[in-house]
Amino acid sequence: MSEENNVPSVESVKSIEPFEPVKTVETVETVEPIERLVIVTDCGFDLDDYATIIWLLSTYDCPTLIITTFWKPEEKASILGCIVKILGRTNVEIVAGSGVYSGTERYMTETYPTWPEKFGIPTEFVDDDESTELENDVNASNFQKCYKCVYPYQTKAFKENYSDLFEDPAVNVCNFPIMIDKFMNFSKLNEVTVVGIAPFTNLAYIVQNHTPKIKNIITMSGWHGSFDDPVRPNYNVHMDMVSANIVFSQTKIPVLVFSSDFCSTFKMRQNEWDKFLTLDNKFGKTMLEVARNWEVHRARKAGKHYESESDIVLGLPITHDYITVFCALKHLNKFNTSGIHFAVHPENIFMYGNDNPIVFGDDCKSKELGAEKYLLTVKHKDESNIKLVSFKYTNDDENKSTIDEVYTSMMNELFDVISKQA
């Protein structure tokens, strides 16, 4: 980040102590061992990233670096700082990585030029007259304000419920490459597992500068559509196609790809969510508050209008990121992995001119132009270091059995971890 984005210089970065030695991981036989872990996340909106990080930190007691990204990474770092303390972890470092610090539309559009315009700028409040009035109205409820924009209320949930653990986000604003380099430089060759559940900006930096230290990369990415005719890039790829291309074009690091289509076949069932709604400990209630905030915001985008907070019916959260790490680290033997050549073509993102970039969404005009085919090249390649995860069976009933087994196990483990915390 530049000084213009309010990121301090190298001299102002807080001192960093070496990470403690790798601990022996106490885990069941079916969990893939990890010696050192890097997690790149854009948490702060729905439950997906939170669930992933909670499970990883409760399953692996190894030195871990969490890098936040996208919108307000310094606030995301404070949220995750609470979670780390709640889980009692002492060997986890959190870094506010690349992203938009200033909170202005200018930096948002400069940093992520392909962000769909219809989503608006995820600033403190939606940029319209009504939201401005709400913000200035001291009698307006958090429900009314969250209805306009979810992001600040996810931060607020942790800041209020864990005021003793929540650090001022300003302390997280630093020169993030130094923090990343410090962690990687203390790592041995082929020792670090990297989990990417966010746009690829920070992940590309690690690949470009620390390839020999990386054992493997697990990423929720890929595309939406069939293998033979990929329709559009996955969100994480689409948001920073240049960085995604860096990761997928390298040939030395094994990369495990979980596509959006694969993950979307794992759907939460109502009885599983009903179990979570019974959580009555502070951590459980906080996570449910996060789910509620997101549902209000999602309803607004879908054109729904709640008259009061009591009218809200929580939707079933998506769990794509959690599915990715749970399957990769505990149930990979239940699925196929096949080599692919997955090339991203960021040079084509503005092929219709800067005024009409290719952006994807339900109402995207570029779909009518067939522009999607210029952004991705996906082919089978047996010897590739990029591996795609897919189902073993063509029979839907056999796949359903696998899905049910994995998903039930996954949700039970998450519930147990959350319910045991203060």
Summarised one tens digit per residue, pLDDT across range 386-401 is 999 999 887 778 889 9
Buried b (16+ CB within 10 A) or exposed e, 19-50: beebeeeeeeeeeeebbbbbbbbbbbbbbbbb
pLDDT at 195 over 80: yes
Rounded mean pLDDT of 159-184? 88
Rounded mean pLDDT of 342-350? 78
Among 110-114, 154-158, 203-207, where is mean pLDDT lowest?
Answer: 110-114
Structure confidence at residue 350 (pLDDT): 64
**What φ, ψ does residue 260 adopt, rounded to 5°?**
-60, -40
Structure confidence at residue 118 (pLDDT): 55
297 assigned to some structural domain = no
Pairing of strands 335-344, 376-380: antiparallel
Do 173 and 74 meet the contact criterion of CB atoms below 8 Å apart?
A: yes
Q: Is the dihedral of CA 104, 107, 110, 113 positive or negative?
A: negative
Q: Which helix (H) or strand (E) holds 52?
A: helix 47-59
**Residue range of the domain that includes 198:** 30-267+318-419
159 assigned to some structural domain = yes
Confidence of residue 29 (pLDDT cuts 50, 70, 90): very low
Do 48 and 321 meet the contact criterion of CB atoms below 8 Å apart?
A: yes
Structure confidence at residue 255 (pLDDT): 97
Do 54 and 25 meet the contact criterion of CB atoms below 8 Å apart?
A: no
- Residues 96, 266: Cα–Cα separation, whole Å: 31
294 assigned to some structural domain = no
- Provide the number of structural domains found in the chain: 1
Helices (H), 162-222: 176-185, 201-210
- Residues 90, 103: Cα–Cα separation, whole Å: 31
**What φ, ψ does residue 380 adopt, rounded to 5°?**
-70, 140
Structure confidence at residue 306 (pLDDT): 66
376 assigned to some structural domain = yes
pLDDT at 106 over 80: no
What pTM was estimated for this model as a whole? 0.84
Q: What percent of the chain shows pLDDT beyond 90?
A: 44
Structure confidence at residue 298 (pLDDT): 73
Pairing of strands 335-344, 386-391: antiparallel
Query: What are the Cα distances from residue 151, in Å, to 8, 76, 122, 157, 295?
Result: 24, 10, 7, 10, 12
Do 191 and 36 meet the contact criterion of CB atoms below 8 Å apart?
A: yes
- Residue 337 belongs to a domain with what CATH number? 3.90.245.10
Q: Is the dihedral of CA 291, 294, 298, 300 positive or negative?
A: positive
**Structure-block tokens of residue 129:** 């007259």
281 assigned to some structural domain = no
305 assigned to some structural domain = no
186 assigned to some structural domain = yes
R_g over Cα of the chain: 21
